[in-house]
A and B are shown apart, each in its own frame.
Chain A
Amino acid sequence: MRAIDIAQKVNSGEVSALEIITKTLAGIKEKNPSLNAFLEIFEEDAIKRAKEIDALPQGKKGRLAGVPVAIKDNILYEGHICSCASKMLENYKAPYTATVVKKLLKEGAVIVGRTNMDEFAMGSSNENSAFGPVKNPLDLARVPGGSSGGSAAAVASGMVPVALGSDTGGSIRQPAAFCGVVGIKPTYGSVSRYGLTAFASSADQIGPITNNIEDNQLVLSIISGQDKKDSTSKPAPQNKQEKQNLVIGVPTDFVINLEKEATLAFKQAVELLKTKGVQIKEISLPHAKYSAPCYHILTASEASSNLARFDGLRYGYAAQNTKDLEDTYLKDRTAFGPEVKRRIILGTFSLSSAHAGDFYLQAQKVRELIKLDFQKALKEVDAIIMPTTPNGAFKIGEVEDILTLYLADLFTCPANMAGVPALSVPFGKDKNNMPLGLQIYANYFDENLLYKTAALLGGK
């Protein structure tokens, strides 16, 4: 059932929140052992909360009354463990609640559990979790994508209608594409990150993963908005005119080297849009191809700084029998997994005085050029389309080369580098009959246009 329908039925009294939540929890218990999408179910808390919602007067239970929502394990919910799928934070209890979670709760949502992810949101296959990989619900031998793989799998398997993810280089959209669901990376600054464990602060954004466009739009409208606790957050500009006679750009110089089926699906999407009266225009994004290397330099640099806080002193993993403070730091930080260590070392290298000019600072400049490419293109067209990924979900353990894994974010990184919003909707199948995603980019705070375009593509 759609989240919108659940909320409507709970508000009208047709069904109780407790019935919805009881059924959801039973479904999770049945399906999760084979998927590993949830790291923890907040059973007692969810039942208590459902009863509270049922006690509220009819019609006043909120826009998400009784809707079960899963949160990625890097989003804080007071009193609950938030581990970032890392041994470092295995037992860390959140001392406060993230702004996005507060907003969902205010609208009657019920947080049913926390979902598995790549450790500290670093990865694109969910194989980097310290607590085992998530399986793709459509083929258990395949990855669900990452880093919000648990959230995408939880929605795709029908365990929950809504899950929150976070997206630093494609971590919502790529798993959404691999699992055949809808995921959005909102405009940078549109959703508060207060209570999101920072990975790369200049790129991190929280967004919803859902089974359909309407639910996605509703949840995003609820979690968006300026928050004084996140100084990068901004209010959306008012009175945006709804655009008629859409012009959509196809970046022909960027969308290359796709798998045959992905090329076919992309061409079909373009043709379908034409039949809906959309004008298609070829555009150029000459620097977009540098987004993935830029992303890796900048986010690793920011991660090396953000993750310096994990020293095992104030919280987190504490090694026993260490000699002195230096030894404590070194031993405590062995709790990080290999991908986290790789990125911290790469980031420290990129920021080191010998290399900062050629790496960190050059990447900042190239990022600016990527941003300018999008700003220029979005003056000529209303939106831009491209595939979400060059191929569908691969098998668990199949891709060992880290550069190949890093390139899974080739088409998603540009949105984080430019700060613009991008939405992935299911469109087409790969050679293994796994879903592919089509991605729509639009101008800053033009999320409604993304949903409108997705609807033209026949998104549910």
Chain B
Amino acid sequence: METNLQELKQVAKLAKIELSAQEEEKLIKQIASVVNWVEEIQKVDTSALTCTTADFTPKREDSPVQFENAAALTGAFNDKQDNLLKVKKVL
């Protein structure tokens, strides 16, 4: 597959990565070369594979836990009002 540079630029936007014109020129080409390299895994025959979920990450119980240093978390907010995180307008 010849990686579509335009598509990678679109992906960068989706990932909320803003690139300068200079960065875009260099990074997107580099990523395209990596995509072309990692594509080699597509030739591996995986048809005989029977995947199980046995080794998947066990889920912990979904119950609330008290974090002892909550003040440090809210203290790190870049902008806040009272004890709430303040963000810029959405639209």
Contacts and interface: CB of A to CB of B under 8 A. Distances in A.
Interface of A: 78, 92-93, 95-96, 201-202, 228, 231-232, 287, 290, 293-294, 296-297, 304, 308, 311-316, 318, 322-331, 333-334, 336, 338, 341-342, 344-349, 352, 358-359, 362-366, 368-369, 402-403, 406
A208 B64 CA distance: 33
A361 B23 CA distance: 29
Contact of B41 (A202, A290, A312, A334): A290
B51 interface: yes
A346 B35 contact: yes
Contact of B14 (A290, A348, A369): A348
B66 to A, nearest CB: 13
Contact of A313 (B12, B14, B23, B77): B77
Contact of B34 (A308, A346, A368): A346
Instruction: Please classify how large the interface on chain B is, using the bins under 10, 10 to 19, 20 to 34, 35 or more.
Output: 35 or more
A237 to B, nearest CB: 15
Nearest to A328: B88
Contact of B11 (A95, A326, A345): A345
Given A95-B69, A293-B41, A231 B11 contact: no
Given A290-B40, A345-B17, A325 B33 contact: no
B49 interface: yes
Interface in B58-72: 58-60, 67-69, 72
A418 to B, nearest CB: 11
Nearest to B89: A324
A366 B89 CA distance: 44
Contacts of B14: 348, 352
A231 B59 contact: yes
Contact of B89 (A228, A312, A325, A358): A325
Interface of B: 7-8, 11-12, 14-19, 23, 26-28, 30-31, 33-35, 37-42, 44, 46, 49, 51, 57-60, 67-69, 72-73, 76-79, 85, 87-91
B44 A287 contact: yes
| B28, B40, B67, B91 — most chain A CB neighbours (10 Å) | B40
Contacts of B31: 342, 345-346, 349
Contact of B85 (A313, A342, A346, A369): A313
B63 to A, nearest CB: 12
Given A324-B88, A348-B15, 18 more contacts: A96-B69, A290-B41, A297-B38, A313-B79, A324-B91, A329-B16, A330-B18, A341-B27, A342-B27, A345-B12, A348-B11, A349-B35, A358-B42, A362-B46, A366-B46, A369-B46, A402-B30, A406-B34
Contacts of B68: 96
Contact of A296 (B16, B34, B42): B34
Given A313-B87, A322-B88, A345-B8, A231 B35 contact: no
A366 B57 contact: no
A333 B18 contact: yes
Nearest to A297: B38
Contact of B38 (A318, A325, A359, A369): A359
Give the 3 A-B CB pairs with smallest separation, nearest first.
Answer: A95-B72, A315-B76, A365-B46
Nearest to A419: B55
Nearest to A231: B60
22 contacts: A95-B69, A95-B73, A231-B59, A293-B41, A308-B16, A324-B88, A325-B89, A333-B17, A334-B18, A341-B27, A342-B30, A345-B28, A347-B15, A349-B8, A349-B11, A349-B35, A362-B42, A363-B41, A368-B46, A369-B46, A403-B37, A406-B37
